[in-house]
Amino acid sequence: MKKRIDKLTSMLNEHQVDVAIISEKNNIRYYSGFTSEDAVLLIHRSACYCYLITDFRYIEQAHMQCRDFNVVDAPGIKTGPFIKETCMALNAKRIWFDSDAISFRTYTSYKEALHPLELIPDRGIPSRLRLWKTEDEINHIRNAASLADKGFLHILGYIRPGVSEREIALELEFFLRRNGSDGLAFPIIVASGKNGSLPHAEPTDKKIAEGELITLDFGCRISGYCSDMTRTVALGEPDKEMREIYEITLKSQQLALEVIGPGLTGIEVDNQAREYITAKGYGQYFGHGLGHGVGLNVHEAPRLSINGENVLEPGMVVSVEPGIYLPGRGGVRIEDLVVITEDGYDNLVSSRKDLIVL
C-alpha cells in the first residue's frame, strides 16, 4: 500500500495538486486496503497525511485494514467540513476529486463545503496505476480464473435437456461460492438457443433443448480480484450455421492470441480478430470490442477495441473475447483472460475450446 501511495503522491506533485480525494470503491481498496463501501480517502502530496473518512459501522474494520491511514468518523454532511478543515490546516489549495466516480450531487456538496478551495477533476489518473498488476494481484486473478475453469467442468455435467438457464446459473454460482469464490465477478450469463444472440443475456426460465448452443460467461472474485471467461457448448449436434460461426469465432480468437503481447495497441489486437470475422462475412454481427482489462473491476482499462489506444505492457490483464451474434438465430462467444508478459502472454484460462457437444 505504501508504494501505491508514494506513486499517487508523485502524480499529485507532477500535476501540482495538494490533496487527492478518492471515493471510488475499488480505488479506496487499492490505495488503503479498506474492503467496504461508504468511505472517502484524503491523501496529501507529502504522503505524511492520509485519512480514511467513514462512519461508526466501519471504524473498527478500518483500523484493522488500513494501517497507513488515520481513521476518521465523519460521515455524510460532516465529510465536506472535515476535508476543508484538514486542507486549510495543511495549507492545501488545489484539490483533486474523482470526477469519473462521484455524482453531480456529491460534487455540488463538496463545492459548497470546500469553498474557496479549488476543486480539480482528476480525470481518472489515480485509477491508471491499476493498469499494471503486481505479482500478488496476478495471483489472485489466476486463482479466480482457475476456480472458474473448475466451475466450467462441473457445469458440463449438469447441462441436459429440460434444465433451465436459471438453474444452470444457480448451480454454477453455488459451485463457485462453495469452492472459495468470495462472490461473482458479475451476474452469470447463460444464453441458450436463440437467446445466444444477446451478448449480455440474463438467464431465463427457458429450458435447454437438443441441438442448441449454450453460452456461459462468468467469473469468480478472490481477494477482490475478478476473473472472466466464456465458453459456448452444444447440447447435441448443432446445425451447420451455428457450427460455422463457432469455428470462425474460435479461429478469430486464435489469430488475436497469435499476435497479442507487449508493444501492440488494443486497436491492433482487436483488428486481428475483427478482420477475419469480417472477411468471413460476419463483421456486422461482432458488435463489441475484442476485450477489456480485468482487475478489481471486471471491466477496466485497457480496452481491446477500435478505440483501444493504450499500448499493451507486461503486467496488464485483458480478456480476449470475439463473438458472433445472429438476431433471432443464436450466437457464439469464446473468452480467455491473459496477462501480458515480457515476451507475449500467459493464458489464465485453461478450459478446452474445441466445440464440446454434450
- Interaction site with Zn ion (CB under 5 A): 217, 228, 230, 319, 335
Q: From CA 251, how far away is CA 256, in angstroms rounded?
A: 9
CB of 144 to Zn ion, least distance (A): 12
Amino acid at 207: K
Find the shortest distance in angstroms from Cβ 292 to Zn ion: 6
C-beta closer to Zn ion: residue 149 or 335: 335
Residues 6 or more apart whose CB falls under 8 angstroms from that of 25 comprise 37
Nearer to Zn ion, 66 or 312 (CB): 312
Of 72 and 294, CB closest to Zn ion = 294
Pairing type for strands 229-235 and 40-44 reads: unpaired
Residue 42 near residue 31 (C-beta atoms within 8 A)? no
* Closer by beta carbon to Zn ion, 230 or else 253: 230
Reduced to 3 states (helix: H, G, I; strand: E, B; else coil), residue 330 is strand
CB within 8 Å of 129: residues ≥ 6 apart: 4, 7, 8, 30
Contact 315, 138 (CB under 8 A): yes
Report whether 111 contacts 119 (CB < 8 A): yes
Q: Give the three-class secondary structure for 149.
A: helix
DSSP code for 201: P
Do 19 and 45 form a contact (C-beta atoms < 8 A)? yes
Pinpoint the alpha helices (H) of 280-325: none
Residue type present at position 305: S
9: enclosing H helix or E strand: helix 2-14
C-alpha–C-alpha distance, residues 105 and 339, integer Å: 38
Q: Which of 41, 4, 1 is nearest to 23 (CA)?
A: 41
Using alpha carbons, select from 7, 9, 4, 71 the residue that is nearest to residue 41.
71
- Whose cell is 472474485? That residue is 221
Nearer Cβ to Zn ion (319/351): 319
C-alpha cell read off for 9: 503522491
- To Zn ion, the closest distance from the beta carbon of 217 in angstroms equals 4
Pick 137 or 217: Cβ nearer Zn ion: 217
Shortest Å, Cβ 318 to Zn ion: 9
Nearer to Zn ion, 189 or 267 (CB): 189
Nearer CB in complex with Zn ion: 270/335: 335
Q: Could you tell me the three cell numbers for 148? A: 472458474
Q: How far is the CB of 355 from Zn ion (least distance, A)?
A: 19
Nearer to Zn ion, 197 or 230 (CB): 230
50 versus 191: smaller Cβ distance to Zn ion: 191
Cβ 229 to Zn ion, closest distance in Å? Answer: 6
Least separation in angstroms between residue 195's CB and Zn ion is 16
Please name the residues in contact with 60: beta carbons below 8 A apart, sequence gap of 6 or more.
Answer: none
Q: In whole angstroms, how close is the CB of 127 to Zn ion at the nearest point? A: 18
In the complex, least distance from residue 183 CB atom to Zn ion, rounded to whole angstroms:
15
CB of 298 to Zn ion, least distance (A): 7
